[in-house]
């Protein structure tokens, strides 16, 4: 953080961590959008076996929705007419010239690949018209979204007065913190944000001396790169500032707006900048936008596969729109603070920005950027139990796990290998829900008996696994069960757990321990999640990694109710698990269990009955 | 570790970490040789701009050395006659069949790539003869090395009686530790080593019931995969053991031998298994072999570029042969322990293996596998000061840095960014030596004055940088200087250090701090290396990452002497550094320095004069 001292010269006034320590195992990092696009394109090619291609030089002409068919799952109610562009039309211009534009150019594509992105499919002619009939359409078409305008959805919000320039350059400067992310507030020349990038590049957001009246459209052509660099030079003085190489530049006028609606009849959706526009400085644009389609993607996937009821699509807007509104409100506050004059040391500037408050805002921005601030509201997909009496709330089983928030990653030990693994890495994003069985201290026979009863439930005809897994798939296809016990590797063996329910044959990735490792310490997951090892619990995690439900280990009915509300029973479910315990100590386990059953449980666990519709199963 | 209990049934008797905690920031990991080969092939292609190709279906017919030319640096004294193979000759057989052999097959090559490796170069005919005149030849041609036999170099050592089978399989077993690295000693059926691999594969080393008399050649064709699996089943009982998929298998008879010499006149070298053969269980084969050519490669590179005297090539054998001998001695001990019967709980087996001793041996094996056990002897490249009086030994400047051992990596903070960086990652393997300037606490003006004097030396006409860097290259091309100070980022700025010597213009990767970071704690490098921040020191690191010299900051003569002994002054050296201090506080620095010079240093630092030839420079 740089602010002017008493004599008006900028000085470093403080440092804060770019990422709040402990908020995540990942740190904040700047990443070229082209790298993300590369990952997405490669992944699309791989997953679709090269069948799905991203076609660029094609524009929509019209979109219509046949409202009579929106409730028919087999119908294709959306009609889109597409027009194939000529090369001239397909190559965007910037400032009147055909300057390459960093916002859509991928730095990781070869020249041929880049050319091919703007070439028409083989045999297609410029001007050709194609009509597409679709079940669903998602418009991810940016701040000036054509889709949004076709749907007549309004943007709500306003525009700031300030105009900013952006340059991606290799700077020649003796400003010593140019390789750190910096906020520089000059006394009278405006502000700069410094964001170091790859390959010695640095992005500078530079406040320009010009302002625009509300509603006034800014003529961007007058903001040349020379004018932007000149503005930077004034702000960063007395340090030198020259440009070694300029990779890209632009100028923008901040608008902070949210779309009134995010879909039409849950058949045509808009996502990303089409739904919300804000200042680019907090790195929210790509993050918030990817989270939109991330939220929508798995829901659409399950609906299209016939595995979930289309009603879950309503949660896209109910989950993402409130978040977008919060983000815009915060951005409104932050960007005004950034463009305003600094307060510190400035005689006569009483309405300026307090550097301390500015720092606090930066920290909140961190929670937005990391997504940890998100708390989705109660819905068919988020089983919040706020109405239940406090003592019997399932959330009390895991005091630090909030239903509706991201399932935070902590380290566990993979029992079969003794190596440290992050729970986040167990959440393969393959459309499956996960039930984490926090089995607790299973050296207590009564607790282990509860685990065996849960396994009996899973293997039974009517468990959520047996009902919702289509025949022909592995039992972890739709709902994967992962066990995390609270013992160390000397106290309990994988063989001690019920097989095949929790320990399927030759599958070494289903059982984890909360215990120390040789090299990576201990994750202390029970402590971190606030779970009592004497009791344990179940945590249901959605395919996108958000916590959907916390329930008692014995509360099988809670699982039945949660999944029953939106999952569809397939034509042929996989049904009861008929495989026997495959481990060589199967007989020993049976004997131990019989002995345990004859004892009174040490921890008499009361089943939790959250509502009248649910029936607890007693241990 | 599994050993028999009193009733002769195998039980887990203990666990040890696969890697000694703290020995390295990397953990032990199994890696397919094909993956290493892929990296090497890709890197050869990239660095040579696709000009260097690895040609496989070619065999040497003869090799001759013209001894009259071995001292002429421009001569090509080695003549090798090559014969191009037919496809039949080029495709090796295993057990009489053309089974794919995991030891040379790359799992990462496509089928086409693999085919092309065994295809002759375009236009070449099978049987064609090519004569190559070479400056140097390195025979990396395995345990049965043709090169070694042509040179008439003997292998010294012996062979064990034991025969082992190896299988790479996806096992179907209820042995619970099959995804951990295990040593299983059965009561009477022999031993197994379990090494989990990628893609659910597991490698098993299985002791076979047969033994071979000393010197007897074993007929491997009788060891079928079925016999090997059957032997495994007996050892691992009562656990089940079946093979889901077999990827590869072999059988071998352990020989532990080291070559008498590693080169002929430092013109023809042998490396890897051609120099030393031993049991494969401790993962030494590929590791020790790569370290051979790693040791030789940069020396050859400097000699071929005319930048170093050819005499440095003698250090290949003087450094690698003692290590190979130590490795063989250790392997001899370990492999006998592994093949012998266990002691624990076995009545009547008095000469068996003590599991505790076995564990200790495993730990020593770790130091071999990680390379941390290596301590190269004194030579022109390793400036050990053992003969100097103890008090004035430069090693006392860095009590935990051993000259001759690997420069251990610790975390430092990159000053420009405030992020944690490993010193090991600063050792780009580009043929450059590095001088680490441990500048100490530079808030003490006297200490900072020493740093400025060191910078004055570096910039002067006769410094090692000015003398040995060829004109036209950057000053860090041959010898890179990296500063690590002991202050935090609030106490000192990069601008405070002398520019351009230690802080070249727009280079943010030369100055590091030993201070805490927001996310990764503090590396405590001064404490870890045993360096007094009030004194500091210089550490010279060779291009392969081994410590070559530790010297006082003022002992510029030690640098002159070390590099002068083997580096050649290029026809046109880069010479004195004529660039001025480019930072905007240059004038301020000059004033501070004048002020500091007028003071008596707080720490009166006595220059260390290790020998009569050296002259200390007084601070």
Tens-place pLDDT, residues B9-64:
999 988 888 777 878 888 877 887 788 888 998 999 898 988 888 888 899 999 99
pLDDT value, residue B410: 96
Residues of B in contact with A244 (CB under 8 A): 506
Q: Is residue A133 part of a domain?
A: no
Pairwise pLDDT comparison (B389 vs B583), residue with the higher score: B583
pLDDT value, residue A526: 98
Q: Is residue B443 part of a domain?
A: yes
Average pLDDT of every residue of chain B: 86
Tens-place pLDDT, residues A117-149:
667 777 888 889 999 999 999 999 998 899 999
pLDDT value, residue B109: 56
Is B416's CB within 8 Å of A179's CB? yes
Per-residue pLDDT at B362 exceeds 90:
no
The band of B70, judged by pLDDT with boundaries at 50, 70 and 90, is very high
Range of the domain at A256: 2-31+150-370
Q: Is residue B273 part of a domain?
A: yes
Same domain (yes/no): A360, A484? no
Per-residue pLDDT at B614 exceeds 50:
no
Domain total of chain A: 2
Minimum mean pLDDT among A50-59, A390-399, B262-271, B585-594: which range? A390-399
pLDDT value, residue A557: 95
Do A499 and A582 touch, CB atoms closer than 8 A?
yes
Q: Of A19, A172, A180, which has the smallest distance from its Cβ to B417's Cβ?
A: A180
| β-pair type (A479-485, A511-513) | parallel
Residues of A in contact with B518 (CB under 8 A): 17-19, 21
A215-274 residues touching B, CB cutoff 8 A: 238-240, 244
Nearest chain B Cα to A507, which residue? B200
The band of B619, judged by pLDDT with boundaries at 50, 70 and 90, is very low
Distance from A346 to chain B by nearest Cα, in Å?
Answer: 23
Pairwise pLDDT comparison (B106 vs B379), residue with the higher score: B379
Q: Is residue B188 part of a domain?
A: yes
Same domain (yes/no): B182, B328? yes
> What is the CATH number for B574?
3.40.30.20
- Between vectors from CA A479 to CA A474 and to CA A481, what angle results, nearest 5°? 90
pLDDT above 70: percentage of residues in chain B: 87
Per-residue pLDDT at B604 exceeds 70:
no
pLDDT value, residue B116: 67
pLDDT value, residue A161: 75
pLDDT value, residue B403: 94
Handedness of CA B108, B112, B114, B116 (dihedral sign): negative
B342: which DSSP letter? B
Q: Of B21, B179, B414, which has the smallest distance from its Cβ to A519's Cβ?
A: B21
Residues of A in contact with B180 (CB under 8 A): 416-418
pLDDT value, residue B353: 62
Kindly list the strands in the beta sheet with B411-414, ordered across the sheet, starting from the edge strand earlier in the chain. B419-422, B411-414, B511-513, B479-485, B433-440, B537-541, B547-551
Same domain (yes/no): B354, B408? no
pLDDT value, residue A348: 44
Residues of A in contact with B196 (CB under 8 A): 417
Nearest chain B Cα to A28, which residue? B519
Other residues' Cβ atoms within 10 Å of the Cβ of residue A520: 14
Per-residue pLDDT at B349 exceeds 70:
no
Which of A370, A402, A429 delimits the end of a domain? A370
d(CA B540, CA B551): 8
The band of B195, judged by pLDDT with boundaries at 50, 70 and 90, is very high
Nearest to B513 by CA among B409, B394, B398, B423: B423
Same domain (yes/no): B448, B342? no
Tens-place pLDDT, residues B170-193:
999 999 899 999 999 999 999 999
ipTM value: 0.84
pLDDT value, residue A282: 66
Do B209 and B222 touch, CB atoms closer than 8 A?
no
Same domain (yes/no): B409, B514? yes
Q: Is residue B132 part of a domain?
A: no
Separation in Å, CA A335 to CA A279, A340, A358: 7, 9, 10
Does residue B418 belong to the interface with chain A, where contact is any CB pair within 8 Å?
yes
Tens-place pLDDT, residues A511-549:
999 999 998 999 999 999 999 999 999 999 999 999 999
pLDDT value, residue A346: 47
Same domain (yes/no): B180, B301? yes
Nearest to B24 by CA among A515, A518, A27, A417: A518
Nearest chain B Cα to A499, which residue? B174
Per-residue pLDDT at B389 exceeds 90:
no
pLDDT value, residue B214: 66
Per-residue pLDDT at B613 exceeds 60:
no
Pairwise pLDDT comparison (B87 vs B59), residue with the higher score: B59
| β-pair type (B2-4, A547-551) | unpaired
Residues of B in contact with A19 (CB under 8 A): 518-519
Same domain (yes/no): B447, B347? no
The band of B316, judged by pLDDT with boundaries at 50, 70 and 90, is very high
Q: Of A418, A490, A584, which has the smallest distance from its Cβ to B238's Cβ?
A: A584
Which of B370, B398, B431 delimits the end of a domain? B370
pLDDT value, residue B376: 96
Q: Is residue A522 part of a domain?
A: yes
Does residue A588 belong to the interface with chain B, where contact is any CB pair within 8 Å?
no
CB within 8 Å of A39: residues ≥ 6 apart: none
Do A228 and A165 touch, CB atoms closer than 8 A?
yes
Q: Is residue A62 part of a domain?
A: no
Biggest CA-to-CA distance, chain B: 86
Residues of A in contact with B491 (CB under 8 A): none
Is B418's CB within 8 Å of A174's CB? no
Instruction: Give me the residues of chain A with pLDDT under 70, please.
Output: 91-118, 214-215, 281-282, 341-355, 386-395, 599-619
Residues of A in contact with B414 (CB under 8 A): 179
> What is the CATH number for B164?
3.30.9.10
Same domain (yes/no): B451, B354? no
Distance from A511 to chain B by nearest Cα, in Å?
Answer: 12
pLDDT value, residue A615: 34
Which of A302, A335, A370 delimits the end of a domain? A370
Q: Is residue A618 part of a domain?
A: no
Same domain (yes/no): A406, A362? no
Pairwise pLDDT comparison (A592 vs B108), residue with the higher score: A592
Distance from B418 to chain A by nearest Cα, in Å?
Answer: 7
Q: By CB neighbour count within 10 A (0-12 exposed, 13-18 middle, 19+ buried), where does A470 fall?
A: middle
Residue written as tokens 């293996």? B353
The band of B616, judged by pLDDT with boundaries at 50, 70 and 90, is very low
pLDDT value, residue B98: 44
Same domain (yes/no): B409, B518? yes
Is A519's CB within 8 Å of B180's CB? no
Which helix H or strand E contains B589, and what residues bound it?
helix B586-597
Peptide bond just before B140 cis, omega within 30 deg: no
CB within 8 Å of A551: residues ≥ 6 apart: A394, A397, A537, A538, A540, A558, A559, A608
Same domain (yes/no): B451, B358? no
Same domain (yes/no): B333, B406? no
pLDDT above 90: percentage of residues in chain B: 61
């Amino acid at each position: 953080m740089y602010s002017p001292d008493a004599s008006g010269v900028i000085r470093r006034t403080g440092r804060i961590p770019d990422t709040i320590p402990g908020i995540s195992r990942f740190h904040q990092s700047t990443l070229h959008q082209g790298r993300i696009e590369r990952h997405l394109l490669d992944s699309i090619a791989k997953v679709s076996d090269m069948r799905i291609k991203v076609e660029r030089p094609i524009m929509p002409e019209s979109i219509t929705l046949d409202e009579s068919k929106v409730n028919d799952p087999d119908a294709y109610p959306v009609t889109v007419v597409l027009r194939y562009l000529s090369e001239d039309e397909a190559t965007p211009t910037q400032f009147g010239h055909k300057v390459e534009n960093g916002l859509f150019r991928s730095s990781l594509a070869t020249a041929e690949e880049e050319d091919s992105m703007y070439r028409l499919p083989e045999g297609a002619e410029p001007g050709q018209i194609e009509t597409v009939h679709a079940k669903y359409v998602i418009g991810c078409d940016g701040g000036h979204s054509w889709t949004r305008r076709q749907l007549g959805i309004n943007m709500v919000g306003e525009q700031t007065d300030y105009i900013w320039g952006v340059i991606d350059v290799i700077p020649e400067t003796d400003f010593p913190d140019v390789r750190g992310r910096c906020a520089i507030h000059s006394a009278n020349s405006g502000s700069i944000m410094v964001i170091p990038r790859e390959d010695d590049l640095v992005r500078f957001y530079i406040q320009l001396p010009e302002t625009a009246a509300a509603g006034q459209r800014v003529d961007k052509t007058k903001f040349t790169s020379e004018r932007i660099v000149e503005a930077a030079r004034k702000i960063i003085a007395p340090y030198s500032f020259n440009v070694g190489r300029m990779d890209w530049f632009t100028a923008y006028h901040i608008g902070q707006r949210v779309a009134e609606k995010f879909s039409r009849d849950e058949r045509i959706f808009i996502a990303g900048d089409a739904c919300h526009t804000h200042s680019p400085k907090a790195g929210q644009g790509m993050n918030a936008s990817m989270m939109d389609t991330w939220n929508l993607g798995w829901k659409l996937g399950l609906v299209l596969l016939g595995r979930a009821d289309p009603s879950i699509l309503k949660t896209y807007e109910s989950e993402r729109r409130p978040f977008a509104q919060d983000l815009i409100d915060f951005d409104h506050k932050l960007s005004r603070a950034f463009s305003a004059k600094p307060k510190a040391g400035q005689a006569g500037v009483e309405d300026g920005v307090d550097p301390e408050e500015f720092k606090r805002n930066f920290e909140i921005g961190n929670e937005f950027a990391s997504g940890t601030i998100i708390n989705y509201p109660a819905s068919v997909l988020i089983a919040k139990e706020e109405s239940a009496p406090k003592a019997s709330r399932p959330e009390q089983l895991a005091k630090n796990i909030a239903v509706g928030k991201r399932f935070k990653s902590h380290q566990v030990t993979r029992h079969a290998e003794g190596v440290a693994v992050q729970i986040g890495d167990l959440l393969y994003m393959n459309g499956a829900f996960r039930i984490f069985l926090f089995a607790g201290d299973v050296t207590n026979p009564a607790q282990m008996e509860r685990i065996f009863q849960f396994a009996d439930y899973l293997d039974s005809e009517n468990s959520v696994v047996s009902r919702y897994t289509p025949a022909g798939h592995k039992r972890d296809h739709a709902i994967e069960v992962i066990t995390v016990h609270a013992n160390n590797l000397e106290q309990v063996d994988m063989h001690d757990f019920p097989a095949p329910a929790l320990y399927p044959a030759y599958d070494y990735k289903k059982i984890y321990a909360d215990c120390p490792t040789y090299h990576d310490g201990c994750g202390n997951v029970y402590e971190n999640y606030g779970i009592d090892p004497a009791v344990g619990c179940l945590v249901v995690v959605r395919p996108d990694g958000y916590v959907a439900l916390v329930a008692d280990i014995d509360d099988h009915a809670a699982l039945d109710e949660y999944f029953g509300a939106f999952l569809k029973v397939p034509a042929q479910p996989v049904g009861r698990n008929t495989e026997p315990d495959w481990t060589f100590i199967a007989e020993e386990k049976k004997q131990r269990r019989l002995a345990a059953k004859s004892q009174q449980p040490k921890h008499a666990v009361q089943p939790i009955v959250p509502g009248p519709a649910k029936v607890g199963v007693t241990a």
